[in-house]
Amino acid sequence: MPASLQSILDASGYLGTWETDLDTQIVELTGALPRVLAVDETQGASGVPVSLLLKGVHLADRERIAQLMHKAHNTAGRFEAEFRTCDREGGVHWIAARGRVETDPTGRGLRCIGLMTDLTEARRDGEAATDHTMQTIDRVVDALMALRSLTKELGSPILPTLINVMLLELGTILASSIGSSDFDRVH
Q: What is the CATH number of the domain that holds 24?
A: 3.30.450.20
The pLDDT of residue 76: 87
Nearest Cα residue to 180 out of 103, 134, 128: 128
Answer yes or no: is 97 within a domain. Answer: yes
Q: Where are the alpha helices (DSSP H) in the chain?
A: 3-12, 33-36, 41-46, 50-55, 59-75, 120-125, 131-154, 158-177
The pLDDT of residue 65: 96
Answer yes or no: is 51 within a domain. Answer: yes
The pLDDT of residue 45: 92
In terms of pTM, does the model score above 0.85?
no
The pLDDT of residue 34: 95
The pLDDT of residue 178: 55
The pLDDT of residue 50: 96
Neighbour tally for 137: CB within 10 Å? 19
Answer yes or no: is 35 within a domain. Answer: yes
Range of the domain at 72: 3-182
Answer yes or no: is 58 within a domain. Answer: yes
pLDDT tens per residue across all 187 residues of the chain: 455 655 666 666 888 899 999 999 999 999 889 999 999 999 999 999 999 999 999 999 999 999 999 999 999 888 999 999 998 888 999 999 999 999 999 999 999 999 999 888 777 665 544 454 666 677 777 777 777 777 777 777 788 888 888 887 877 776 666 543 445 555 4
The pLDDT of residue 100: 92
Neighbour tally for 30: CB within 10 Å? 15
Answer yes or no: is 187 within a domain. Answer: no
Answer yes or no: is 40 within a domain. Answer: yes
Domain count along the chain? 1
The pLDDT of residue 129: 46
